[in-house]
Amino acid sequence: MHALAGLAFELGGVGTILEMDDVDRQGLLHPGPVILSAALSTASGASGATFLEAAVKGYEAMVRLGRAVGPGHYTFFHNTSTCGSLGAAVAAGHIVDLEDRALVWAMGNAISTTGGIWQCRHEQVMTKPMHCAEAARRGVMAALMARKGLTGPRFILDGPQGMFNAMCLDGKPADLLRDEQAGWMIHETSFKPWPACRHAHAAIDATLAFGGSIAPNDIEAIEIETYADAVTFCDRVEPGTETEAKFSLQHSVAVALIDGPPAMAAFAPDALRRPEVVALRALASVKASNRYSNAYPRHFGSSVTIVTKDGQRQTCAVADALGDSENPLSCDMILAKYRELADYAGVDAFLANDLMNTAFDLLDNAPVQNLRKVLLKALRPN
């Protein structure tokens, strides 16, 4: 494996393993771990401006494809993986300055080797972060090989045996084209405030809206309504692992009721066995609602109804999860999330602050190599 592709693989896996990565709702994918990993791995000699341009272009390509493949594709394939390789090839291709013909080769070969089948979510395995890692690696490798002259299929998307005919039977290739006045899709990226699957966030937000006004011991039942995909991915009353807990609406709502805003530790293995959490999970039912399913994926909504032992019913609902463009996180909240993650990872506070400031220096066109050095120091302290 080429060293740069190996670094992209490493960064891609690290970027998603805690379920705190960014989201494009309509594309149903997480661009950050894939695109930024591809750009960072290849940008050792690049300027901050070149790196940021590569990231924007990579986001655009990945998200456009994710929005075009159709809901049937997402039923069986992880869009982050299948669409991410294209975006990674575009980002890396910009960094290594591929001419148009070579960039087409890179994109064609990246998609030709794409994958990411959803069976992993039905078993207690660690495959999902590997999807992001592999997408970043494939894109970087395809770009590097194209620079060496390795040709690739031009019609990989809409050809007779291309991606849309093979894997996206209800896809809309025309959606890849977009009004130039619409702006860059990176601006529509959602940020996660909670360390759980994004499909669980609206239910967490609805639960937090109660403001701790109901004592857990007074609860008779919890009714969670949301969109169909959230039920498909996150209806899990007895999670057995940290990953399963992050994909459990019942667990997410239970810890939000007990602890308030859920921290990283709320999904750790020990937290799964807390008696009060286990008791509340058992009281929670989950169902899909047309109200939310019809608005999805443009809107990630949910409602939570709590029935108390004296027969009262109280409902809180949110139309858009916190962190979406309609309900955005502030810059201070995003930086607080960064500091929480750095602390959770055991990164020294001084080093974490240095990493943050070095990242901001890219806006002033500082060399990307400065960021790479600090980032690798944080990833490989020994």
Return the ∠ at Cα 15 (arms to 344 and 208), rounded to 5°.
Answer: 60
d(C-alpha 372, C-alpha 257), whole Å: 40
Which residue type occupies 324? Answer: D
Q: Is the pLDDT of residue 353 over 80?
A: yes
Tokens found for residue 313: 């019913």
**Looking at residue 1, what is its pLDDT?**
59
Tens-place pLDDT, residues 206-245:
999 999 999 999 999 999 999 999 999 999 999 999 999 9
Q: Is the pLDDT of residue 121 over 90?
A: no
d(C-alpha 232, C-alpha 200), whole Å: 11
**Looking at residue 179, what is its pLDDT?**
72
**Looking at residue 267, what is its pLDDT?**
97
- What is this structure's pTM? 0.93
Sequence-ordered list of residues with C-beta below 8 angstroms from that of 304, at least 6 positions apart, any chain? 203, 206, 207, 210, 222, 223, 224, 225, 253, 315, 316, 317
Which class is domain 3-191? mainly alpha
The residue that leads in pLDDT, 123 or 104, is: 104
**What letter would DSSP give residue 219?**
E
Tens-place pLDDT, residues 148-172:
999 999 999 999 999 999 999 999 9
**Looking at residue 112, what is its pLDDT?**
97
Q: Is the pLDDT of residue 198 over 90?
A: yes
Distance of CA 83 to the CA centre of its chain: 13
Tens-place pLDDT, residues 169-196:
999 998 888 777 778 999 999 999 999 9
d(C-alpha 313, C-alpha 68), whole Å: 41
CA dihedral 316, 22, 118, 231 (to 10 degrees): 0
Tokens found for residue 27: 């594309």
Mean of per-residue pLDDT scores for the chain = 95
Tens-place pLDDT, residues 134-144:
999 999 999 99
For residue 50, CA distances in Å to 6, 23, 45, 199, 373 come to 21, 23, 10, 34, 18
CATH no., domain 198-318: 3.30.1330.120
**Looking at residue 31, what is its pLDDT?**
98
